[in-house]
Amino acid sequence: MKTAIATVSISGDLKEKLAAIAAAGFSGVEIFENDFLAFDGGPREVGQMVRDHGLEISLYQPFRDFEGMPEPQRGRTFDRVERKFDVMQELGTELMLVCSNVSPISLGGIDRAATDFRELGERAAKRGLKVGYEALAWGRHVSDHRDAWEVVRRADHAAVGVILDSFHTLARGIDPDTIRSIPGDRIAFIQLADAPKIDMDLLYWSRHFRNMPGEGDLDVPSFMRAVMATGYKGVISLEIFNDQFRGGSPKSIAVDGYRSLVNLMDGVRRSEPGIDLTLPAMPDRIAASGIEFVEFTANEEEAEELGTLFAGMGFRKAGRHVSKDVTLWRQGDINLVVNMEREGFAHAAYLVHGTSVCDIGLKVEDATATLERARALKAQPFEQPIGPGELKIPAIRGVGAGLIHFLDERSELGNVWSIEFRPAEERDETAFEAGLTRIDHIAQTMNYEEMLTWTLFYTSIFATRRTPMVDIVDPGGLVRSQAIENADGSLRVTLNGAENRKTLAGHFIAESFGSSVQHLAFSTGDIFKTAERLRARGFKPLEISQNYYDDLEARFGLEPDFTDRLKAENILYDRDGEGGEYFQLYSPNYGEGFFFEIVERRGGYDGYGASNAQFRIAAQKRSLRPAGLPKLGPTSAKAPGNP
């Protein structure tokens, strides 16, 4: 499969763009005319730069306002074409994109346009060049790929083909299956872009909000299934206009683009048997069934404070690593690991970020297959020397500052706790625990500009889906939140994008020096019983405004006794349209905004209590650690039962 990306899709000057595109793994590049015009060098130099990076120029674009022009403009248009053909020959590319005319003086008519393209084809063929005609969604006379194809069909010239762009087709709601009637050898080029569904002017939507396939809401897979059904064998390219991408890292955005294309076409190949595609060998998206462990990095003093905190929530010290300074804390199916090593990745993470989550272990169907798919999608594998008694656990670098390890039950990885850890103590687990059963979800906080990268990362590697994005109101601004989930909800990751450092999320990123896990949510089967046990262990919950409960009672029509129980334990409450209920209990802040959440879901509730977030954030901001206090926690007193 030949892949390309338009230079307009990423930031930087032309040299930076080409380097990033080549490093990401693309085989070709579309030279966007403005990038060429802004470059301080001739077309031969640009062509050589492209080839030096191991790339080919798949397309030169765009040529505007061509067909249907009256005289004398028509004659001048063909003069302009000849100048562009000169540039193309020096660049060393043979295909030019001609987009449908938007000029107010242009004349309509399929036959008139076809006549112009027939002459254009003659001129191109004399130079060994070709042209492709694309219907802009806002074209004056041609705004539908079916009309563009009819122009090409009537032009009936071997040097003239149709160019199809997923945005222009899908944004107008045109059935992509209409592409199936176009002969594959008459399709000159394919451009792809996704986009969030927004009701706005098509031109503005296109120029500012396109994103990579799989990052938006358009049915790009159906578009590509229709294209491949035609027998198309040419280049599959990305043309993305996005304000965030223009200000982002060229390397990161280029990798996202390559990942999105490979993931998309892997899905098309699996859903359309018989399609001939040369793709990296990889397993299908991986089934993940939950979070096996969360690892913290800390020094000795802060590890003791973490232990106090964990014990206060009913965790017991369950094991010590056989060869490293690592402790395992456990409750139900929750495994929390505290790493105090003085070398290796965890220690490096501590030096940069302080006490923080540095590693997540995911339960997957096949750990080896997960690593294979991640590699094929340009994730970075991670390895470090293993000590005595340790297993070699497949791992990759996550999109933020941490690692992701993969464990399965089909190999010895399923016995990691008994192999790598020695029991730390014997005690009555039932009496010690607070009723926490599993990790309901982890919440990762990042700059808003990173959210699309994180979303694509999770949904391309794992069999997960995106939930709709919601706005979380923080007194300091908005935070965008989106969840990544598997089908049965056993794996949930919420992504929270901060737009400024005045928000709690933005403060956490700034003070922790980068994106990371900001909170862990634990499940319980009875939140009131858990709250009672936690209180007995000295746990002090985040204090919620009493005004919240007065409004809650009126909003949901709650019984006063029930509201009083919620208020007494500082439990937040939500209910969905089907009667499902959600209960939330929060710890105070630890460090610069890290916290724990305890949740109970009843009646099939599938959300995250977004309506409660602003009240929780307001309470957290009131309790932010004053300058000069220790990093971890509002108290250093040992909880009952802490070793």
Binding residues: 134, 165, 191, 239, 441, 519, 597
Q: Is 439 helix (H, G, I), strand (E, B) or coil?
A: strand
Q: Quick check: 378 and 24 in contact, CB under 8 A?
A: yes
- State how far the Cα of 537 lies from the Cα of 554, in Å rounded to an integer: 33
Q: What is the 3-state secondary structure (H, E, C) of 393-427?
A: CCEEECCCCCEEEEECCCCHHHHHHHHHEEECCCC
- State how far the Cα of 545 lies from the Cα of 95, in Å rounded to an integer: 65
Distances from the Cα of 58 to the Cαs of 2, 35, 55, 246, 298, in angstroms? 9, 15, 9, 21, 51
* Bridge partners (DSSP) listed for residue 30: 6, 59
SS3 content of the chain, % helix, strand, coil (to 5): 40, 25, 35
Instruction: At 398, give phi and psi (nearest 5°).
Output: -70, 180
- State how far the Cα of 410 lies from the Cα of 368, in Å rounded to an integer: 10
Q: What is the 3-state secondary structure (H, E, C) of 81-127?
A: HHHHHHHHHHHCCCEEEEECCCCCCCCCCHHHHHHHHHHHHHHHHHC
- State how far the Cα of 547 lies from the Cα of 558, in Å rounded to an integer: 15
494 is written with which tokens? 């919420």
- Which residues are annotated binding-site positions for Mg(2+)? 441, 519, 597
H/E segment holding residue 362: strand 356-364
485 is written with which tokens? 């989930």
Q: Which amino acid is at 304?
A: E
DSSP readout, 365-378? Answer: S-HHHHHHHHHHTT
Unique residue bearing structure tokens 């897979």: 221
Q: Which residues of 302-336 are buried (b: 16+ CB within 10 A; e: fewer)?
A: bbbbbbbbbbbbbbbbbbbbeebebbbbbbbebbb
Q: Which residues of 518-544 are buried (b: 16+ CB within 10 A; e: fewer)?
A: bbbbbbbeebbebbebbeebbbebbeb
Residues, the chain, total? 643
- State how far the Cα of 443 lies from the Cα of 291, in Å rounded to an integer: 12
Q: Quick check: 638 and 310 in contact, CB under 8 A?
A: no
Q: Quick check: 81 and 127 in contact, CB under 8 A?
A: no
- Which residues are annotated binding-site positions for a divalent metal cation? 134, 165, 191, 239
Nearest alpha carbon to residue 241 among 213, 205, 202, 201: 205
